Structure 1
Amino acid sequence: MLKSRLITAFILIPVVIAALFLLPPLGFMITTLVVCMLAAWEWGQFAGFASRTQRIWLAVLCGLLLALMMLTLPAYQHSVQLPQISFWLWASLGWWIAALVLVLFYPASAALWRQSRILRLVFGILTIVPFFWGMLALRQYHYDVDHYAGAWWLLYVMFLVWGADSGAYMFGRLFGKHKLAPKVSPGKTWEGFFGGLLTSALISWLFGMWAPLAVQPGTLLICSITAALASVLGDLTESMFKREAGIKDSGNLIPGHGGILDRIDSLTAAVPVFACLLLLVFRNL
């Protein structure tokens, strides 16, 4: 399992970085849309859609919803100040605060949504749609001045999340004794949690030294810490939904890693939260 995970990671990471820096805006948008459709396909299991046909339709409807939203935007303008984008980024903050409450009080909190397919679909919309707009808002950051400015920001957030995941795994394996959320994800420990944050802090410091990130250090620190914490919450939230659905992985599309949601669960929280703080709260426009 570990060998296949490492091989897949060594292949995917360069592909993701190449997509960030080499794809034109339309190509990046379409690629992100496809990823979100695959995530919606897998979310169908969380919503209680056992039929493959139902899940295909859910993915198609997700793609159509995002495409219709994009058609409402001015040509080649994806500014975070547009209400179509800012609404979803603000909504992401509200959703992840609510998700924190659901995770903290699980399994009692599941009584509120366990029997409601509509609520579980709403949770999926609030997870996938803000992620889509967060990806586009960050990629379009100062695009008219520097085509790669937004790519650096997205890479930074991804490195934060990858660092938190990898650090939590390593520190948890080496020192993990105290369970972080045993009712949601028994394998996660407090030692892994703090190890992940430490790794993210190290990555943030190194990245900030060498990458062209035009932002005040205090702003970067607050956004980075919040994004790292959000990434942990994203992981725990997906674990909660998988536990309710009685599945180990959201899919089997990525060898050694499970499904698309298993790989982007942390990013679905970290990206829109980081984008909202950086671009809307601190107005680093």
Structure 2
Amino acid sequence: MLKQRIITALCLIPVVMGGIFLLPANYFAWALVPIFMIAAKEWGRLIDSKCNITQWTFTFTIAAILVALNIIVPVDSLWFNSRLHPIYEAIIATGVLWWGASTLLVFTYPNSGKLWQKSSLFKSMFGQLTLIPCFTALIALKSVNDQVDPYFGGSLVFLVMLVVWATDTGAYFAGKSFGKHKLMPNVSPAKTIEGLLGGLLTTMVVVAGVMYLSPEQELGLVIAVTLVTAVASAFGDLSESMFKRSANIKDSGNILPGHGGILDRIDSLTAALPVFAFIYVAMWMS
């Protein structure tokens, strides 16, 4: 299992890095559509694990929305006078509100599950609120300052990924070494409070890297944004765990040997990206 995970990761890293830094933003936006279609198909299993019609309906609904976004709001018109297109602003803000609501659902699960776990409509809506803001946040960050510095937006996306990876890695090792107090036992029994704190502490390595490469940044602000993004990523992970537990599914898919599905790999990013993008847009406009 570990060997498979390592091999898959080694194969994925060059592809992900190439997409983030080498693909122009407009190609990047279209390349994401099939990836999010796979994630949508996996979410369809969370809606109804036995009904292929439901799964494919949700998949093509997400695909249609993403294609429409790429056509209606082309990447080269996303930013104008340092202002993000209002459609993208609204979707990202909606995503942040969703993650606030999702966090409440996680805290109150399994009682909260009584409200939605038998409703395909609710679970479909939750899937849209999870995937579409993540897509728009990715495109928004990737396209920042694209005409002047084509690597700047990729660096922002990579920064969010580093925060998520640092949080996950720190949480894993801290949880293994010191974990005693369960974080959300009804949602994910293996996660501990010590693990979460260890993950947050590990993100300070990312802060140190940012301050080293860009010392003009305000340290307190960098720490605050990093911690908020890290906490969001942790609850993104917990949210998917909650939906998988409700659907009695261990992994969202099996397309990535040793890792599960696309959703299993981007669950933390689905929350971290909209939250980081929302903060960045707010700071950019201030």
TM over 0.5: yes
- Contact kept? 1:44, 1:50, Cα under 8 Å: no
Q: Which one is further off, 174-183 or 215-224?
A: 215-224
Alignment-derived partner of residue 258 in structure 1 = 260
- Contact kept? 2:84, 2:140, Cα under 8 Å: no
CA shift in 2, pair 1:265/1:75, >3 Å: closer
Match of 1:244 among 239, 246, 269: 246
CA shift in 2, pair 1:187/1:221, >3 Å: same
Alignment-derived partner of residue 178 in structure 1 = 181
Q: Which one is further off, 201-210 or 184-193?
A: 201-210
One-letter amino acid of the counterpart of residue 203, structure 1? V
1:32 aligns with 2:32: yes
Match of 2:221 among 219, 222, 241: 219
Show CA shifts across 1:233-263 (max 9, x none). 0000000000000010000010111000000
Query: How many residues of Structure 1 are paired with residues of Structure 2 in the alignment?
Result: 283
Measure how far apart 1:149 and its partner are: 0.5
- Contact kept? 1:113, 1:119, Cα under 8 Å: yes
Q: Percent identity?
A: 41
Alignment-derived partner of residue 283 in structure 1 = 284
Match of 1:163 among 143, 162, 166: 166
For the residues of structure 2 that align with 1:153 and 1:213, how far apart are their CA atoms? 16
- Secondary structure of the 1:283 match is helix
For the residues of structure 1 that align with 2:68 and 2:229, how far apart are their CA atoms? 28
One-letter amino acid of the counterpart of residue 243, structure 1? R
Measure how far apart 1:58 and its partner are: 2.1
Alignment-derived partner of residue 100 in structure 1 = 103
One-letter amino acid of the counterpart of residue 50, structure 2? A
The answer for unaligned runs of 5 or more in structure 1 is none
Matches within 5 A, 1:199-218: 199-210=202-213, 216-218=218-220
- Contact kept? 1:166, 1:196, Cα under 8 Å: yes
For the residues of structure 1 that align with 2:38 and 2:277, how far apart are their CA atoms? 22
For the residues of structure 2 that align with 1:161 and 1:284, how far apart are their CA atoms? 25
One-letter amino acid of the counterpart of residue 3, structure 2? K
For the residues of structure 1 that align with 2:215 and 2:133, how far apart are their CA atoms? 23
Measure how far apart 1:59 and its partner are: 1.5
- Contact kept? 2:166, 2:199, Cα under 8 Å: yes
For the residues of structure 2 that align with 1:167 and 1:200, how far apart are their CA atoms? 8
For the residues of structure 2 that align with 1:149 and 1:283, how far apart are their CA atoms? 14
Measure how far apart 1:214 and its partner are: 7.7
For the residues of structure 1 that align with 2:284 and 2:220, how far apart are their CA atoms? 13
- Contact kept? 1:153, 1:213, Cα under 8 Å: no
Alignment-derived partner of residue 117 in structure 1 = 120
For the residues of structure 2 that align with 1:192 and 1:204, how far apart are their CA atoms? 19
For the residues of structure 2 that align with 1:3 and 1:246, how far apart are their CA atoms? 26
Match of 1:197 among 194, 200, 206: 200
Measure how far apart 1:7 and its partner are: 1.9
Measure how far apart 1:220 and its partner are: 2.6
Alignment-derived partner of residue 60 in structure 1 = 60
For the residues of structure 2 that align with 1:273 and 1:214, how far apart are their CA atoms? 23
One-letter amino acid of the counterpart of residue 137, structure 2? G
Alignment-derived partner of residue 126 in structure 1 = 129
- Contact kept? 1:43, 1:124, Cα under 8 Å: yes
Measure how far apart 1:10 and its partner are: 2.0
For the residues of structure 2 that align with 1:31 and 1:208, how far apart are their CA atoms? 32
- Contact kept? 2:78, 2:140, Cα under 8 Å: yes
Measure how far apart 1:183 and its partner are: 0.5
Show CA shifts across 1:38-68 (max 9, x none). 1110000111252334323321221111111
Length-normalised TM-score, structure 2: 0.94
One-letter amino acid of the counterpart of residue 226, structure 1? V
Length-normalised TM-score, structure 1: 0.94
